[in-house]
Amino acid sequence: MGRNSRKEEILHAASKVVSDKGIFNLTLDATAKEAGISKGGLLYHYPSKEALVQGMVEHLANNYREKIANNAASDPIDQGKWVRAYVDVTFNQAYQNKDMHYGLLAAKAVSSNSLDPIRELYSDWQHEIEHDGIDPIKATIIRLATDGIWLNELFDIYHIEEDKKQAVYQKLKDWANEPDE
Amino acid sequence: MGRNSRKEEILHAASKVVSDKGIFNLTLDATAKEAGISKGGLLYHYPSKEALVQGMVEHLANNYREKIANNAASDPIDQGKWVRAYVDVTFNQAYQNKDMHYGLLAAKAVSSNSLDPIRELYSDWQHEIEHDGIDPIKATIIRLATDGIWLNELFDIYHIEEDKKQAVYQKLKDWANEPDE
DNA sequence: GAAAGTATACCGTCCAGATAGTATAGTAAA
DNA sequence: TTTACTATACTATCTGGACGGTATACTTTC
Q: In the prediction, which pLDDT does B2 show?
A: 37
Rounded Cα distance between B30 and B34, Å, is: 6
CA dihedral A60, A144, A148, B157 (to 10 degrees): 40
Residues 6+ apart with CB under 8 A from A33: none
The alpha carbons of chain A give a radius of gyration, in whole angstroms, of 18
Mean pLDDT in order along chain A per 10 residues (181 residues)? 68 90 87 91 92 91 93 95 95 70 84 86 96 95 96 90 95 84 52
CA atoms within 13 A on the CB side of A42: 26
- For residues A21 and A30, the answer to whether their CB atoms sit within 8 Å is yes
Residues 6+ apart with CB under 8 A from A7: A45, A46, A55
Rounded Cα distance between A82 and A76, Å, is: 12
Rounded Cα distance between B143 and A160, Å, is: 12
- For residues A112 and A87, the answer to whether their CB atoms sit within 8 Å is no
Q: In the prediction, which pLDDT does A93 show?
A: 75
Residue environment code for A18-39, b if the CB has 16+ CB neighbours within 10 A, otherwise e? beeebbeebebebbbebbebee
Task: Give the gap in angstroms from C-alpha B168 to the nearest C-alpha of chain A.
Answer: 6
In a domain, residue B27? The reply is no
Which residue on chain B is closest to A116 by alpha carbon? B157
Residue B3 has pLDDT above 50, yes or no: no
In a domain, residue B107? The reply is yes
If DSSP states are collapsed to H, E and C, what string results for B118-129?
HHHHHHHHHHHH
Rounded Cα distance between B6 and B46, Å, is: 11
A171/B143 touch (CB, cutoff 8 Å), yes or no: no
In a domain, residue A64? The reply is yes
In a domain, residue B24? The reply is no
Domain count, chain B: 1
The nucleotide whose C1' lies nearest the CA of B6 is D4
Rounded Cα distance between A86 and A143, Å, is: 7
In a domain, residue A30? The reply is no
Residue A102, Cβ neighbours under 10 Å: how many?
22
A158/B112 touch (CB, cutoff 8 Å), yes or no: no
Q: In the prediction, which pLDDT does A4 show?
A: 55
Q: pLDDT, tens digit, for every residue of B86-145?
A: 999 998 876 556 666 888 888 888 777 888 999 999 999 999 999 999 999 999 999 999
B118 touches chain A (CB under 8 A): yes
Q: In the prediction, which pLDDT does A99 show?
A: 67
Q: In the prediction, which pLDDT does B174 show?
A: 93
Q: In the prediction, which pLDDT does B94 show?
A: 63
- For residues A139 and A130, the answer to whether their CB atoms sit within 8 Å is yes
In a domain, residue B125? The reply is yes
In a domain, residue A47? The reply is no
Helix, strand, or coil here: A54? Answer: helix
Which residue on chain B is closest to A24 by alpha carbon? B109
**CA A54 → C1' D26, Å?**
31
Rounded Cα distance between B154 and A83, Å, is: 23
Residue environment code for B124-135, b if the CB has 16+ CB neighbours within 10 A, otherwise e? ebbebbbebebb
B145/A144 touch (CB, cutoff 8 Å), yes or no: yes
pLDDT average, residue stretch B27-32: 91
* Average pLDDT of the residues of chain B: 88
Q: Which of A23, A57, A64, A144 to mutate to test the interface with B (most CBs of B within 10 A)?
A: A144
Q: Which of A113, A120, A151 to mutate to test the interface with B (most CBs of B within 10 A)?
A: A151
Q: What percent of chain B has pLDDT over 70?
A: 91
B156/A111 touch (CB, cutoff 8 Å), yes or no: no
**Bases along strand C below 7 A from a protein CB:** 9-13, 18-25
In the chain, the amino acid numbered B90 is T
Residues of B in contact with A147 (CB under 8 A): 144, 147-148, 151-152, 158
Rounded Cα distance between B55 and B46, Å, is: 8
B144/A143 touch (CB, cutoff 8 Å), yes or no: no
Of B119, B155, B164, the CB nearest to A108: B155
**CA B27 → C1' C28, Å?**
28
Residue numbers of the domain that contains B79: 54-177
Identify which of A28, A34, A30 has the alpha carbon closest to the alpha carbon of residue A46: A28
**CA B24 → C1' C1, Å?**
58
A157/B126 touch (CB, cutoff 8 Å), yes or no: no
In a domain, residue A172? The reply is yes
Identify which of A52, A154, A157, A62 has the alpha carbon closest to the alpha carbon of residue A110: A52
Identify which of A161, A64, A60, A133 has the alpha carbon closest to the alpha carbon of residue A101: A60
Residues of B in contact with A118 (CB under 8 A): 157
